[in-house]
Structure 1
Amino acid sequence: MEIIGHWWQAVLAGFSKTDPLDLAPLPIVGLIILCLVLTVPRASWRFFGLYVTFVHELGHAFAALVTGRFVHGLKIRLDHSGELASSGKPGFSAVFSGFWGYPTPAVVGLALVASTYYGYASAALSIGALLLLGSLLFLRNGVGIAVALCSALTAQLLVVYTPDQAMAWVVLGLGLMLLVGGVRDLFKVLGVHTRRRELIASSDAYLLSQRSWLPAWFWLFAFTLVITVSVVLAARMLLLMLG
């Protein structure tokens, strides 16, 4: 109980404003290079891509919950595919939850970058730690549970043991990595619709076109728009932090 109490106090302490990061060009360039090394090469993407898929599926799940759908569970597979099972009325809720998959990693990445810009990196990490614990309720396969447990454990350890300034750098790095991951997955789904059309039945854009009167290209454009805006806004905040 003492350990739980210590953890809970650390989570609550995170909901406070801290000094925004004071960035210098050399450290931020180093951080960007590190983020690219961890997300672009196929060897490292094999692992971090599972986390991006996890965030993707959580985007579907959260959008389903806020529109009144019942989430039965979600699965993540080693090939970076995922599946959310939810039920509810057809129409807006199904389309809304179906849309918030591919844009979610970039939007969360933007939120993390913004939290470091405004001095709320520790709050972002505390919220993330709680959400990751809650996500364990929805996982329905071994790979998904393993990804969620590793993510949740890492978040809890960071909340308890990381100093504020170090925490801000971690949150900023994770935000940048999610932005890169969101862009990478966007190119992946665009490739499905242009070069690998044998996989099109698994595309969120195709599934959305079946649930609405709007064609798949509209949903691809919508994904691209949200992700592009997220990247541009995050880049602007980085430049402002650099002065």
Structure 2
Amino acid sequence: MSEVLAEIWARATTAQPTPPPLVVALLAILAVVAVSSPRGYRVVRHGVTVLHEVGHAGVALLVGRRLSGIRLHSDTSGVTVSRGRARGPGMVATVLAGYPAPSLVALATTPVLGAGYAVGVLWALVALTALLVVFVRNLYGLGVLGVAGFTVAAASWTMPAVVLSGLAWLLVFTLLLAAPRSVLELAADRARMSRRGYRDSTSDVAQLAALTGVPAALWVGMLGMVTLGSAAVGAWLMVAP
């Protein structure tokens, strides 16, 4: 086991050449296709949901709340339960962290990719899925993490570095694009509920409105600006010479 871990560490900390500009452009196009197509986006949406819940869970721990568990559902939704004060800045930060998390994680990863550590990014994702297993409380969620972690680990162990570099860039491009789409879906769901005479009382922005008194529509706009801004900055960092 120690030899395997040492080999993983060596691969993760060894820089590889970054993809040439033409390959980067093709990977960006593939990410657009994945996020735009219904079938592709459904797969992508599971990854977005995982990072969404990681955002809630991570901030909950940072502000001193107790993390009770995470659930991932087959409809690509998820829920994170934590214990602590029902109101206050810590609760606001915890609820707010979900939607920006995928785009901010992807944005933070772009300098690492640019430095050539794409394989390190993939092994970091494997480590994240292994850590989340401790907190997931339903079988479907464990299955999602198991499939994702095993797939990325198997690819990272067996494929050549040039292929893994392309895979990591594709994943980050996809997250940058998928995060704003999830906010657009939130806005569309709220509009649909309003037309049918229903009131949104469970979404993150509805909870933020109840906690702060700031209208949910303003929270939707803020989340949209954060995710779109992260996508624009991240994409520029990845395609710039």
TM-score by length of 2: 0.89
How far the C-alpha of 1:69 sits from its partner, in A, is 1.1
Identity of aligned residues (%): 25
* 1:108–1:162 Cα change, 3 Å: farther
Question: Residues of 2 paired with 1:215 and 1:8: CA distance?
Answer: 49
CA distance in 2, matches of 1:14, 1:86: 36
Query: Does the C-alpha gap of structure 1 residues 155 and 182 become closer, same or farther in structure 2, counting only changes over 3 Å?
Result: same
Q: Considering only aligned residues, what root-mean-square deviation do their CA atoms show, in Å?
A: 2.0
Could you tell me the TM-score, scaled by structure 1's length? 0.88
1:43 partnered with 2:43? no
Shift >6 Å, 4+ stretches: none
Deviation at 1:102, TM superposition (A): 1.0
Aligned counterpart, 2:217 = 217
Aligned mates of 1:171, 1:184 — CA distance in 2: 20
Amino acid at match of 2:148: S
Contact 1:14 1:123 in 2 (8 A): yes
Aligned to 1:60: 56
1:141 match: 138
| SS, match of residue 119 in structure 1 | coil
Q: Is the 8 A contact 1:115 1:124 kept in 2?
A: yes
Greater Cα offset, 103-112 or 77-86? 103-112
How far residue 159 of structure 1 moved from its aligned partner, in angstroms, is 3.4
1:70–1:86 Cα contact (<8 Å) kept: yes
1:19 CA displacement: 4.2
1:10 CA drift (Å)? 3.2
Q: Distance in 2 between matches of 1:42 and 1:48?
A: 10
The offset of 1:20, in angstroms, is 4.6
| SS of 2:8 mapped into structure 1 | helix
Kept in 2: contact 1:111–1:175 (CA 8 A): no
In structure 2, the residue corresponding to 1:79 is in which secondary structure? coil
Inter-partner Cα distance in structure 1 for 2:192 and 2:217: 14
Question: Equivalent residue of 1:113, what SS?
Answer: helix
Aligned to 2:201: 201
Are 1:109 and 2:137 counterparts? no
Offset of 1:22 from its aligned partner? Answer: 4.0
Partner SS state of residue 85, structure 1: strand
Decide which moves more: 138-147 or 150-159.
Answer: 150-159
Structure 1 CA distance for aligned equivalents of residues 108 and 159 of structure 2: 20
2:173 corresponds in structure 1 to 176
Return the alpha-carbon distance in structure 1 between the equivalents of residues 119 and 100 of structure 2: 24
Judge conservation of contact 1:125–1:171 (CA < 8 Å) in 2. Answer: yes
Q: Deviations over 1:5-51 (max 9, x none)?
A: 344123322442514514222x2332223223322211222222122
Tell me, in whole angstroms, the C-alpha distance in 1 between the residues paired with 2:53 and 2:83. Answer: 15
Alpha-carbon distance in structure 2 between the residues aligned to 1:39 and 1:199: 28
Structure 1 Cα separation of the partners of residues 122 and 25 of structure 2: 23
Residue type of the alignment partner of 1:211: L
Question: Is 1:82 matched with 2:78?
Answer: yes
Which moves more between the two structures, 204-213 or 130-139? Answer: 204-213
- Give the paired residue count: 237
Distance change (3 Å), C-alpha of 1:7 and 1:205: farther
- For residues 210 and 38 of structure 2, what CA distance do their matches in structure 1 show? 32
- Are the counterparts in 1 of residues 19 and 166 from structure 2 also a CA contact under 8 Å? no
- Contact 1:39 1:181 survives alignment (8 Å): yes
Deviations 1:195-222, CA, capped at 9 Å, x for gaps: 3333622321111111223221332122
Query: Given that residues 112 and 172 in structure 1 are in contact (C-alpha distance below 8 angstroms), is that contact kept between their aligned partners in structure 2?
Result: no
Asked whether the 8 Å contact 2:119–2:161 carries over to 1, the reply is: yes
Q: Which amino acid aligns with 2:114?
A: Y
